[in-house]
Amino acid sequence: MSLSLLPNGLVSIVDVSHAHFEHLDGPCERIRGARSILEDASPQDVLAWAARIFDRRVALACSFGGPSGMVLIDMLAEIDAKIPVYYLDTGLLFPETYALIDRTRQRYGIEPIAAHPSLSVEEQATLFGPALWSRDPDSCCEIRKLAPQRRLLSDYEAWISGIRRDQSPQRSDVAVVESDTASGLTKINPLASWTGEMVWTYIRAHDVPYNELHDRGYPSLGCTHCTSPVKAGEHERAGRWRGFAKSECGLHR
């Protein structure tokens, strides 16, 4: 199935997917129905479907530390620029990441929402000891990423992610539309079937801004203490939490 974005209002996939989605009983069945329709759809069609189905009850998560999220921001600017974009401001992001957020504001005229932890870095150190990330990165991610996202998404019914199947073995079976067990929301992954090469082809073709550290050996960026450059032959998330049996913060399960 080849579905393309229509220039006169995104009618084709939006209307068809809505009709199929509407008559199915129960959230799980509706997600399976949407998945079967959208699996081979373009990312733009998936985003248009999400905007139609969820309206303002869907938000786009962008780390500003990976190129995929920037592709989705660029696509949404043409589809529905009013869909909120948010990021998890752990207080430990790279300066280059904050610089990209500023460039995104200027380029797209949007104000990304910052989801903050309830504890500052200093308060966390007081309660749990210094450099929690070096001793218990799972707990650090829970405090600084997972809990803030849960609070923010409590006002929404769905969220959009830039994860792709080719990013790591743990993501190889991600679906375009799925149920997020952590939040209980519908999770939409428009770029699930894309490759890194496709992402960068889009970025170059559309002059999409991206994190400067991607040009210095960092294909995937999180917090400063838990991100290192990737070596030749490693997958793009190999530099995350190096030295630990961990490649995910827990947002994507």
Q: Which residues are catalytic?
A: 249
**Ramachandran quadrant class, 212 (left: phi over 0; alpha: psi -120 to 50; beta: rest):** alpha
3-state helix, strand and coil shares in percent for the chain, rounded to the nearest 5: 45, 10, 45
Q: Which two tokens stand for residue 5?
A: 């974005």
Give the integer Cα–Cα distance in Å for 79 and 97. 25
Give the integer Cα–Cα distance in Å for 206 and 98. 22
Which of 250, 120, 143 is closest to 240 using CA atoms? Answer: 250
